[in-house]
């Protein structure tokens, strides 16, 4: 069985070089086909995407500390298929 992991990002400074003071871990939006972006803000990061300073990590389970990302995920989980 293939185990999936959560890709997480912490945005240290925004595209304009301003420090964010945000030390929370955001889920990298798995549904965004345009490139890597934080789920809650859709802020792109990565080489060729933006000038953000960022840190990434993966977690087998959990790891998301951003309350907005968690709120969005709970709304998605409430959808009945």
Q: pLDDT tens-digit profile of 46-75?
A: 988 899 999 999 999 999 999 999 999 999
**pTM: predicted TM-score of the whole model, two decimal places:** 0.89
What confidence score (pLDDT) does residue 6 get?
95
Which pLDDT band holds residue 38 (cuts at 50, 70, 90)?
very high
Portion of the chain with pLDDT greater than 90, in percent: 84
Average of per-residue pLDDT across 5-16 = 94
Q: How far is CA 72 from CA 16, 52, 58, 75, in A?
A: 26, 23, 19, 5
* Secondary structure (3-state) at 68: helix
Residue 21 backbone class (left: φ over 0; alpha: ψ -120 to 50; beta: rest):
left
Phi, psi for 7 (deg, rounded to 5): -95, 130
Q: What is the pLDDT of residue 1?
A: 55
């Amino acid at each position: 069985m293939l185990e999936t992991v959560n890709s997480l990002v912490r945005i240290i400074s925004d595209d304009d070089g301003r420090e964010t003071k945000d030390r929370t871990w955001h889920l990298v939006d798995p549904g965004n086909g345009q490139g890597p972006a934080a789920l809650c803000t859709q802020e792109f990061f990565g080489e060729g995407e933006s000038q953000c300073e960022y840190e990434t990590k993966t977690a087998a389970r959990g790891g998301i500390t951003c309350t907005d990302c968690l709120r969005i995920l709970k709304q998605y989980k409430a959808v009945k298929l």
